[in-house]
Amino acid sequence: MLGGATVKQLVELSGQHLSIRGIAKRLDISRNTVRKYLRTPGLPVAKPRPRRLSKVDPFRDHVRRRLAAGVENCVVLLRELRAQGYDGSYSILKDYVRPLRLGRAVKATMRFETKPGEQAQVDFGHFPFLTPDGQRHWYWGFVMVLAWSRLLYVEFIRRADVASFIRCHLNAFERFGGLPRTCLYDNTKVVVLGRDAAGVPHWNATFLDFALRVGFEARLCRPYRAQTKGRVESGIKYVKHNFWPAVEFRDGVDLNRQAHAWMERVANVRVHGTTDERPVDRFAREAPQLLPVPRAERVEPFLREERRVGRDGFVTWERGWYGVPWTWAGQRVHVAGTESTVEIWGGGARLAVHPRATRPGQRLVLPGQWAGLPRSDARRAAEPLGHQRVALDVETRPLAVYDELVGAGR
């Protein structure tokens, strides 16, 4: 087909009463082409060609179903289609998916670069899932990204409270082998309780004390300006689109084990779209600029929550009940929990170590919990308080289990 400019010239020359031979010679085209364009009213339209089948077509139902579920990352889709026999390229899949995605309005923003070791960005993400019986639950995904290298750390937790938030920081610092000079947050309650009329933040005292003791500066991004911490926002989206859609897990321990393997094998060894380098390679240059990790004894008090021991010698925490020596009944103790264990501290000493309860209302008795208590009181202490007797879901375990837990905690 001739271009629009050439057709226009052809029409103009015809209006000058130039012969078909002369027009063909002037435009360097064949006489038959000149005749065809002079005989056709308007521009000729090419016949529609039949659409060529794409290698993605046999998998289109799966692709559309995953897009409807919010999975738009072609790396994840490619991994899933490969398992189903797809042998096409990533670019074919990407071209196939592009017109199926919802359009997005893009707003301009200015990128702010930091120096190595200067900043990390931190946030929580919400990760829902369905249990085999159809119940909806979720984990909180803690994400920390070193701003210069883009090295990513992710950890999934049940509770988004201050103690868990602090524990995630320490786990991230330990994995990095150091900590940045500043950490940037949004206005989450575990960091800042609110702002006064002048915009001055009211910090969460426990978290601020932790930051000062560890040695980094906590900073807040401007309210309603999530792009201020765009690196961690992108990190959370990356976890949601690349890791979460394909993961299957038994419990929180298994979930975090898979997340750490994904960080090592996928997230931190891919070529980053902004830096055009692998985060792990940039981190090798950033690591010497990080501050040293604090000693354990400086941060242990921040990992515990205060609770009161009941008259029956049990402490309630996370919907489970944990036994302590009966002499602590009615007193204040501190609880520190992980995905697998629960420790109870009082008076600077560890009073008990329990396996974490696996179901709501479960009671775990400490071996020798009521040793030395008069017999009549011991019978009452073993019963729940109240006007009626109810059946207790008390779990007893061999002493060897507690010996292993105590040994692991040393």
For the beta sheet containing 320-323, the strands, ordered from the edge strand earlier in sequence to the opposite edge, are 314-317, 320-323, 363-364, 394-395
Task: Scan for tokens 């007797």, then name that residue.
Answer: 389
Q: Do 123 and 87 sit in the same domain of this protein?
A: no
What's the total number of domains in the chain?
A: 4
Q: Is 331 exposed, middle or buried (0-12, 13-18, 19+ CB in 10 A)?
A: exposed
The pair of structure tokens assigned to 25 is 């010679």
Per the model's pLDDT, the better-predicted residue between 228 and 65 turns out to be 65
Is 107 part of any domain? no
Report whether pLDDT(39) > 80: no
245 shares a domain with 260 = yes
3-class DSSP state of 337 = strand
Whether residue 174 is predicted with pLDDT greater than 70 in this model: the reply is yes
Q: Which of 42-56, 130-144, 238-252 is predicted least confidently? A: 42-56
* Judgement on whether residues 95 and 207 belong to the same structural domain of the protein: no
Asked if pLDDT for residue 33 goes beyond 50, the answer is yes
Residue 15 pLDDT > 50, yes or no?
Answer: yes
Q: What is the pLDDT of residue 113?
A: 72
CATH of the domain at 171: 3.30.420.10
Q: Is residue 10 included in any domain, yes or no? A: yes
**Average confidence (pLDDT) over 298-318:** 86
Same domain, 160 and 258: yes
Same domain, 71 and 124: no
pLDDT at 255: 94
Q: 408 falls in which pLDDT band (50, 70, 90)?
A: low
What mean pLDDT value characterizes the chain?
Answer: 83
What is the spatial distance between Cα 106 and Cα 109, in angstroms, rounded to a whole number? Answer: 9
Partnered with residue 195 across adjacent β-strands are 201
Residues 274 and 259 in one domain: yes
**Residue found by looking up tokens 């271009």 in the block:** 3
For position 5, what pLDDT does the model report? 73
pTM, entire model:
0.60
Residue type, 120: A
Domain end, chosen from 298, 324, 339, is at: 298
What's the confidence (pLDDT) of residue 60?
86
Across residues 367-393, what is the average pLDDT? 59
Residue that terminates a domain, selected from 276, 298, 320: 298
Q: Per mean pLDDT, which range of 76-80, 170-174, 178-182, 299-303 is the poorest?
A: 299-303
Per-residue pLDDT, averaged over 228-252, amounts to: 86
Spatial distance between the Cα atoms of 273 and 281, rounded to a whole number of angstroms? 14
291 band by pLDDT with thresholds 50, 70 and 90 = very high
Same domain, 160 and 207: yes
Domain that holds residue 205: 119-298
376 assigned to some structural domain: yes
In a domain, 44, yes or no: no
48 in a domain, yes or no? no
The pLDDT of residue 52 is above 90: no
What confidence tier does 388 reach under pLDDT thresholds 50, 70, 90? very low
Asked if residue 129 and residue 261 are part of one domain, the reply reads: yes
In a domain, 334, yes or no: yes
236 and 184 within one domain: yes
Q: How far apart are CA 340 and CA 318, in angstroms?
A: 13
Nearest-angstrom CA–CA distance, 139 and 129: 8
Same domain assignment for residues 215 and 262? yes
Spatial CB neighbours of 351, under 8 Å, sequence gap ≥ 6: 324, 325, 328, 333, 344, 345
256 confidence band (pLDDT: 50, 70, 90): very high
Residue 48 pLDDT exceeds 80 = no
CB 95 within 8 A of CB 89: no
Distance CA 182, CA 143 (A): 15
Instruction: Indicate the angle between helix axes 74-83 and 60-68, nearest 10 degrees.
Output: 140
> pLDDT by residue (tens digit) across 147-157?
999 999 999 99
Co-location of 293 and 311 in the same domain: no
pLDDT of residue 397 exceeding 60, the answer is no
Q: For 324-356, what is each residue's pLDDT tens digit?
A: 999 999 999 999 887 788 999 898 889 999 998
**Secondary structure class of 93 (helix, strand, coil):** helix
Confidence check: pLDDT of 61 > 60: yes
Pairing of strands 305-308, 314-317: unpaired
More confident: 317 or 143: 143
Q: What is the pLDDT of residue 47?
A: 63
Domain presence at residue 45: no
Contacts made by residues 77-80, CB under 8 angstroms, sequence distance 24+: 79/246, 80/246
∠ CA 281-286-291, nearest 5°, is 145
156 and 212, same structural domain? yes
Whether 112 is in a domain gets the answer no
